[in-house]
């Protein structure tokens, strides 16, 4: 995948292949489209090799639809609408009808809608959840991984209160190229998985649990204080971010 080359742009100016005015224009205008309420970053796919993503909350339905349409019209890679409420999903599908709705539609996290899918990847990615209640976050993560071309394996409900449930899938863990651990409450599953295998582990604290769970802060802190070294943690309930972290690792 080619990248923006500042030196080449300057060289083109020197050789006259492009005028200085045009170069400046290109540098400033090309990488995004200004929709007045949003500066759509067409440059990201080139720069990062990531799908374009539109974060729903705080945007009006028609804004979501317009940004999605702009991204689909001016690129060829996957496009995602994340954390979308029903009105946002409806508006986006009305103008860009072939999207797939997954995630947690109508639920706590909202829907993830995806258009187009990257070419298939052969690396093995596993998503493990501590409990059934962590599944919406895992769903967001899986759908994002699928947009990237992965076919992740899901191991649900492997919390450490019944270690044998996790150990029974030791082979799956041991053969993974990357593992996403999705856990709320005390988040101990990340430490245990991180201690069992040497693969990269991305830990996603979830807001599942009550009382001392503090809406996921406890799990976030615990994952950071983990006695198993080398675990990377993403934000609370951030299944999308965890998938992006995996995609960065396995470029």
Among 17, 37, 87, 95, binds a second copy (CB under 8 A): 37
Interacting residues with a second copy between 162 and 191 (CB under 8 A): 162-165, 167-168, 170, 174, 184-188, 191
Interface with a second copy: number of residues (CB under 8 A): 115
**Phi, psi values for residue 203, rounded to 5°:** -100, 130
In Å, how far are 26, 102, 111, 164, 226 from 114, measured between CA atoms? 30, 8, 10, 36, 34
Residue 166: half-sphere exposure toward Cβ, Cα within 13 Å: 24
The candidate with the shortest Cα–Cα distance to 204, out of 219, 226, 186, is: 219
Interacting residues with a second copy between 98 and 157 (CB under 8 A): 130-136, 156-157
Which one, 111 or 234, has the nearer CB to a second copy? 234
Mask: binding to a second copy, 49-88, rule CB under 8 A, as x and -?
Answer: xx--x-x-xxx---x---x---------------x-----
Among 44, 70, 93, 140, binds a second copy (CB under 8 A): 44
C-alpha radius of gyration, the chain, whole number = 20
What is the distance of C-alpha 32 from the center of its chain? 21
Rounded distance between C-alpha atoms, residue 156 and residue 133, angstroms: 10
Among 2, 28, 76, 119, binds a second copy (CB under 8 A): 28
Among 159, 176, 181, 182, binds a second copy (CB under 8 A): 159
């Amino acid at each position: 995948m080619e990248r923006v080359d500042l030196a080449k742009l300057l060289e083109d100016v020197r050789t006259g292949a492009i005028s200085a005015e045009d170069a400046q224009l290109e540098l400033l205008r090309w990488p995004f489209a200004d929709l007045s309420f949003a500066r759509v970053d067409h440059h990201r796919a080139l720069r990062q090799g990531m799908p374009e993503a539109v974060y729903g909350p705080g945007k009006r339905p028609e804004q979501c639809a317009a940004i999605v349409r702009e991204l689909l019209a001016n690129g060829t890679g996957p496009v995602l609408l994340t954390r979308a409420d029903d009105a946002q999903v409806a508006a986006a599908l009305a103008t860009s009808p072939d999207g797939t709705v997954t995630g947690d539609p109508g639920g706590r996290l909202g829907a993830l809608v995806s258009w187009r899918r990257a070419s298939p990847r052969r690396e093995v990615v596993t998503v493990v959840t501590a409990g059934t209640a962590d599944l919406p976050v895992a769903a967001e993560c899986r759908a994002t991984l699928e947009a990237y071309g992965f076919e992740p394996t899901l191991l649900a409900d492997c919390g450490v209160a019944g270690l044998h449930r996790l150990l029974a899938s030791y082979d799956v863990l041991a053969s993974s190229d990357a593992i996403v651990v999705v856990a709320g409450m005390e988040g101990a599953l990340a430490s245990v998985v991180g201690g069992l295998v040497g693969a990269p582990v991305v830990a996603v604290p979830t807001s599942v649990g009550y009382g001392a769970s503090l809406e996921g802060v406890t799990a976030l802190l615990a994952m950071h204080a983990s006695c198993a070294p080398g675990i990377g943690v993403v934000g609370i309930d951030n299944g999308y971010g965890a998938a992006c972290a995996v995609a960065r690792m396995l470029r």
